[in-house]
Structures are given as C-alpha cells and as structure tokens.
Structure 1
Amino acid sequence: MSVQLSAPNENSESVQPPDPLPPPPDGGYGWVCVAACFCVNCFTWGAVSQTYGIYLAHYLSSGRFPEATPIDYALVGGLNFSTAMLVAPGVTIFARHYSVQAPMLLGTILIAIGFISASFAHRIWQLYLTQGVLIGAGVGCAYIPSTAIISQWFEKKRSLANGISSAGSGIGGIVYSFLTEAVIGRVSLAWALRITAVVSCSVLLVATLLIRTRNGDIRPSQRGFDFRLLRRRPDVWLLLAWGFLSMFGYITLLFSLPDYARSIGLSSAQAAAVSAVLNLGTAIGRPLIGLSSDHFGRIEVAGLLTCASGLACLAIWMPATSYGVLLFFAVIIGAILGVFWVVSQSSYPRTIGPICVEVAGLAELQSLLSLSWFATVLPTTFSEVIALKLRRPRSGREYLHPQIFCVVSYFAAGLCLLALWWRIRLRSRVS
C-alpha cells in the first residue's frame, strides 16, 4: 500500500508518514459479525428477493390484481433490488453521521411495514409501494451498512468470511421458498407476507445489535458517492460494467425459474422445490467461491464463474424440459449465478467487496461499493420486465428468448471482468 507524505513545511527537516492502518484481526469478534451478516442476508435478500419468484408465479397464475399485467409484477420484484441499491449512497452518509445500527434499525422497521402493508393490498399501485418500494428501501437500509464490515475484520480469510455471510441469502431462500408456497397454499397470500414480516424483523433486530465496525481504526471515507474513483483508471469502469451486465442474467434467472417450471408442466410444489434447490446451491456455493477466491484470485474466479453461468444456461437450462434436469440446473446455477455479490463485497456472496478492495483500497471500499450498487439499479429494475416481454406463450418454447438474453448477459459480463484481470496482470508485470 502506498503512503502519501504530507507536504513539508519550513520548520521541519523531515516528514513522517502517517501511521499505517492496523491489520484486520482475521477472527475474534469478526466471526460474530460474520454470523450477524449471515442473518442480515438470510432475512433480507433470502426472505425478499430470493423468493420473489414464488410470489411472481402465484401472481401470474392467480389474477389476484385484475388490472395488473405481467410487466407490473416484474417491476414490483425489480423494485425490491433497485430501490435497495438506489438508497445506498444516502444510507452510507446516514451511517457515517450516526452509526451502522441506525439505518439498519430503520430498514428493519420499513421491511416490517412493507410486508404487512402488502398483505392488505388490493390494487396494483399499492403493491408497487409496499412489496416494491417500501420493502426494497428497507432491504437497502438493513443490508448496505453491513457490506463493508466483514472486510474490516478479515484480510487473508476475507473472501471466505464474506462467502459464509452471503450464503445466508441462500439459506433464507430455501426456508422461505417452502414456507411461502406452503402458507399460500394452505392459508393465504396475506398470511405468508405477515409471517415473513414477523420472523424476518425479529432476527434482523438481534443481528443489528450484534454488529460492530472497526471504523475508528480504518477511518473509511464513507462517502455516498466519490466520482473521483471514476477518473482513477478504466479498472473501475470495467468493474461497474461487470456488475451492470451480470445483473441482467442474475435477476432473469432468479425471478423466472419458478414460472419456467410451470411453463413446462410442473406443479406449484415442484416449482417451489426448484426455487429452493437453487437457493440450496447458493448456500453451498458461495462459501466455496469465497474460499476459492482467497486461493486462486478474486477477479480470476469471479470472471470464470460469470462465464460459467452463461455456459450453464446455454447447455443445461435451454434444453431442460423435465423436473430432474431442472433440479440439476438449479443447484448448479444457484452455486455460481450470484458471484457478483460474493466477490464484490464479498453477498450482493459477496464478490464485489473483496474486488472493490483490490481495485480501490480498503479506505475507499464503501464509496466504490455505493457506485457498484448504483450501477445495478437499471438492470435490477428492468431485467424481469425484459424477460417477460421476450416470452412467447403458447409457442412451445415460451422462455427461449429470455434464456438467450440470460446467456448473452453473463458472457458479456464475464468478458468485462476478464479484461480487468488482464489489465491488472499487465500492470503487475510492469511494476
């Protein structure tokens, strides 16, 4: 790490560099923070977005909101993600002025209000505001402050710790996939939303109280946006392009797979099982991605797995017409489709965190994360809208065009990250 010297003055003969940052402890209370962040992932992304495909399939088949179109339901799910990402800069500033616990407590309250309000929705605009915007804002407030915490506590085990944490979204997705489908089928959609509110917010409250930062030692900038990062070098642009493009494939897969299962003649219970198996793959795969990233390189692993996601869609999903093959695809793709979240932060398995540290440094982590989240707003909002517009019902291959869209998105994103790896490799050779 290079250290900038302060400018000399006329009264000093030598200049002393500032004290180096203390190294992360790689353990200790950091493992409590890993457990807390695991719960945050489990009861935000796992409860909200990892299982929205179950709600989407139910909305598309039930006609609960007569004035709604499939595009409306796709936008509601997209707003879960995009609103969470859109509030990231403001949440970062909020956490800087107060503490990480303040926005996380606010997020817990918003998630509770959003789910309970959605259970009483009778018009599609009410669903937009509740299950879309309100829950999305709550997820952003609860999740965003936690993204940089694990990287403050770990260095050598950073990707592994982030991988374990991000596996929480997969575990939450497994539980809520079965729970949501069972409650909808046996009780009602309204009670599925209310139960999710009570369980999720109870656990999030405990996790929020357990989280601790090392901001006093790290002295992070915690800027909502630092546009100077965009002028630093093309590496930042390649990183943002990877996140932007990969989200098109990620959201399309996450939301479309349960309804795809129904389109090939599977039952609602089988569609829920496909969603649960995808989340099982996520829970297993994300810690392994983190461990592999620590050993073989974060950018290398992320680039290869992004391309592998496109290849799996092309070779397995597109020809899949049976329950067994679809389950096989779900567990494989679940393990690798969200590599952005593992390597960045690591969650969103989180790739984006550790890679952001490599590109911008630990002190600038939160600022680059905010830019990364913002870059995903458009694709997370409109990915499923595009996918549903590309569907061709009653054609015999209803999801063929969305599948192609998914493949192209992942391959293009993978090329961006491999280009970033090549630039860093060339720079290390020169130095």
Structure 2
Amino acid sequence: MLDKKETRAVPSSQTVQVPGIENAATPPPDGGYGWVCLACCFTVNCFTWGVVSSYGVYLSYYLTSDAFPESRPLDYALIGSLNFGIAMLSAPMTTRLARSFGIKPPMLAGAVIFGGGFIAASFAWRIWHLYLSQGVLVGLGVGFVYVPSIAVLSQWFGRRRSLANGISSAGSGVGGLVFSFASGALIEHLGIGWALRVTGAIALLALLVAAVFLRDRNSIIRPEQHPLDLGLAWRADVFLLLSWAFLSMLGYIPLLYSLSDFSLSIGLSRQQATQVTAFLNMGTAIGRPFIGVASDRFGRFGVATSLTLLCGLSCLAIWIPATSFGVTVFFGILSGAILGVFWMVRAHASQC
C-alpha cells in the first residue's frame, strides 16, 4: 500500500493512454481539424480513385483508335485492372512504411508516382510502355497515397464517422465525373498525349497539397499497426468479410470499366460512352454520403446486404436488356450510387 505522502492525484487535464486503445477521456473530436482532414481525404479520393474511374474514357479511345497497333482489347482491360490490383497489393508495404516513417512520406512519394505515371504514359508508343506507366505506376501511386489515409477519418470522427467517410468517398465520384468529361474533351481537342499530361500534372499538385495538410492522431491513439496478419484469415467472420469483399470487387471493377465499352457495343458514339462513364461517377458522388448516413442509422450489415442485392438485381433487370442511351445512363446513375457500398462499410469500420 502506498504511503499518503507518495500518492499524487492526476490532474484532470491529463489522460492515461493505453497503447492500441483510444482512452474514453479523449474520444474523437468529431470536428475541429478533422474537417481539414476530411477535405484532404475527399481530395485523395477525388484525384486517385476518381481519376482512375475515368479510365473508361481512355478505354473507349484505345478501342476505337489505332494508337498501339500490336495491342489487343485484353491489353487495355489488363492495364485498367492494374490500377486497382497494384494499389491493393502494395497495401502491406505501404502500411509498413507509414508505420515506420509516418503517413506523409509515402503519400508524398505516391503523389509523384501517380502523376508521373500519367505523364510517362503520354510518351508511350509501345503497349508495354502503357502497361508500366498507366498501369503499374498509376496503381502504385494510388496505393501509396490512399492506403495511409484510410484510417485517418476514423481517428477524427466517432458519432459522425459514416457521414464523414461517405463525404470522403464521394470524392471518387466527383473526380470520376469531372475527369470523365474533362478527359473526353482534352482527347478530342488536344489529343491523348496532352490529356494524360494535364491529368497527371493536376493530380500531382492536388495530392501533394492533401498529403501536406492531412494529419493523423497516432501520437494520441498509439495504434498497433500490422501490415499483414495472417492469423485473422482463420477467423470465420473475417473470412466471410473478405469473401464478400472479393466478390464485390469482382463485379465492381468490370462494371466500372466496361460500361463505356458496352455503350460502344450497342451502337452509341464515343462521346455518349464518355457521358455514360461520367453519369456512373455522378451516381457515386450522390449515393455514397447517403449510404454513410444510412449505415449510421440502420447498421452497416443491413445496408451493405440490401444494396449488394439491389445492385446485382439491377444488372440483371436493367443492364443486360439495355439497348438505348437513356436506359444505359439510368443504369449508370443507379449502379454508381450503390455499387461501391464495400468501400463505405470498410471505411466506417477501419481503425488504425
């Protein structure tokens, strides 16, 4: 037992931190500098996933031009898929770097890699150049910028976490909408080379600004960051979550990238195919904040299950029989609003 002379009261302004657990006395502020971080995460989503979501515009150009005579349609599909695949495969390495050096160095490096990938693609004259630039480099840049930012909003927002993540995720839709129209106009008036250069330069500047101002609360929360924990894969709930994520992405990415090609296949023009891609991203921008609010109110499981089912049914009932521009646009808006529900559920549950 301590002697009375050895006891000392802890001032009310101080809190005792337990590593890996956010102390009840220091809950997420639900505001303050968190709004700046929300703007930064919105920018990250806008200029990474938003930009790569407009790849359908480039896809329709590549498929209808003779820019790379030795290429096949499958080549262009693989280049687009590398944006997502490389980004996700780089996650363990990026997490390790963020743990060792903080979130800013990998994000700054990722901004340079991402913008540089687009600029390098503008000088490509062989298909393998495009694989390395618009495929591998762009995907690696997405991973280095996006992965360190994933859990930041969960550190700043508690009660409003789903709403904050919904607004942040809507950035991908806004970016996809803007860059779909902008890329189409740039390709038409300046050519494919300058379209890629302008996109890369703008994305580079925006991501550098976001990386500079984004701030985590790791010094307060002291999270345990594990780049890869294979032990979790043996848990039934984690296995089911990963299975749902895998199947969701298996349908999400082909829909996101192939809707423009589908538009061409039913006789629509390249301009109309660009508009369909843009409207799909507009649906994403509108739908994701509402998904966030619904998740807060009704629970993530129910919202994710119902919207996943609705998206699948809409593909069968609307997309397959679609033969006109109006129906395809309607499907693009509807599917865009709900097909990214996985990102919302993942963002809400993420913790450092």
Give the TM-score category using the shorter length.
over 0.9
Structure 2 contact 17–221 (Cα < 8 Å) conserved: no
> 2:134 aligned with 1:134, yes or no?
no
- Counterparts in 2 of 1:213 and 1:20: CA distance versus 1, 3 Å: closer
Structure 2 contact 22–221 (Cα < 8 Å) conserved: no
Query: What are the superposed Cα offsets for residues 216-259 of structure 1, whole Å, 9 maximum, x if unpaired?
Result: 1221111111122223x300000100110111110111011011
Q: Which runs of 5 or more structure 1 residues have no equivalent in the other structure? A: 1-15, 346-353, 358-364, 367-431
Q: Return the letter of the residue paired with 2:94.
A: V
> Match of 1:62?
65
Alpha-carbon offset, residue 148 of structure 1: 0.5
- Counterparts in 2 of 1:277 and 1:20: CA distance versus 1, 3 Å: closer
> Match of 1:297?
299
* Alignment coverage as a number of residue pairs: 333
Query: What are the superposed Cα offsets for residues 102-124 of structure 1, whole Å, 9 maximum, x if unpaired?
Result: 10000011012111110000111
Query: What are the superposed Cα offsets for residues 10-61 of structure 1, whole Å, 9 maximum, x if unpaired?
Result: xxxxxx995862311111111111110000000011112x111111111111
Query: What are the superposed Cα offsets for residues 122-156 of structure 1, whole Å, 9 maximum, x if unpaired?
Result: 11111110000011101110111000000111111
Alpha-carbon offset, residue 180 of structure 1: 0.6
Q: Return the letter of the residue paired with 2:277.
A: S
Counterpart among 200, 204, 208 of residue 197 in structure 1: 200
Q: Distance in 1 between matches of 2:165 and 2:223?
A: 19
TM-score, structure 2 as length reference = 0.92
> Match of 1:182?
185
> 2:32 aligned with 1:32, yes or no?
no
> 2:208 aligned with 1:210, yes or no?
no
Structure 2 contact 41–168 (Cα < 8 Å) conserved: yes
Structure 2 contact 41–149 (Cα < 8 Å) conserved: yes
Counterpart among 44, 67, 75 of residue 72 in structure 1: 75
> 2:248 aligned with 1:246, yes or no?
yes
- SS state of the match for residue 191, structure 1? helix
Identity %: 58
Counterpart among 101, 109, 115 of residue 104 in structure 2: 101
Q: Return the letter of the residue paired with 2:40.
A: A
Q: Distance in 1 between matches of 2:341 and 2:295?
A: 11
- Counterparts in 2 of 1:23 and 1:271: CA distance versus 1, 3 Å: same
> Match of 2:148?
145
Q: Which runs of 5 or more structure 2 residues have no equivalent in the other structure? A: 1-15
Q: Return the letter of the residue paired with 1:251.
A: I
Alpha-carbon offset, residue 287 of structure 1: 0.4
Q: Distance in 1 between matches of 2:275 and 2:144?
A: 30
- Counterparts in 2 of 1:149 and 1:20: CA distance versus 1, 3 Å: closer
Q: Distance in 2 between matches of 1:335 and 1:20?
A: 33
- Counterparts in 2 of 1:273 and 1:20: CA distance versus 1, 3 Å: closer
> Match of 1:154?
157
- Counterparts in 2 of 1:198 and 1:20: CA distance versus 1, 3 Å: closer
Alpha-carbon offset, residue 322 of structure 1: 0.8
> Match of 1:115?
118
> Match of 2:8?
none
Counterpart among 308, 312, 315 of residue 314 in structure 2: 312
Structure 2 contact 22–220 (Cα < 8 Å) conserved: no
Bigger relative CO (Cα 8 Å, ≥ 6 apart): 2
- SS state of the match for residue 250, structure 2? helix
Query: What are the superposed Cα offsets for residues 316-340 of structure 1, whole Å, 9 maximum, x if unpaired?
Result: 1111111111111111111001111
Query: What are the superposed Cα offsets for residues 186-233 of structure 1, whole Å, 9 maximum, x if unpaired?
Result: 1110100000011111111111111010111221111111122223x3
Q: Return the letter of the residue paired with 2:246.
A: F
Q: Return the letter of the residue paired with 2:243.
A: A
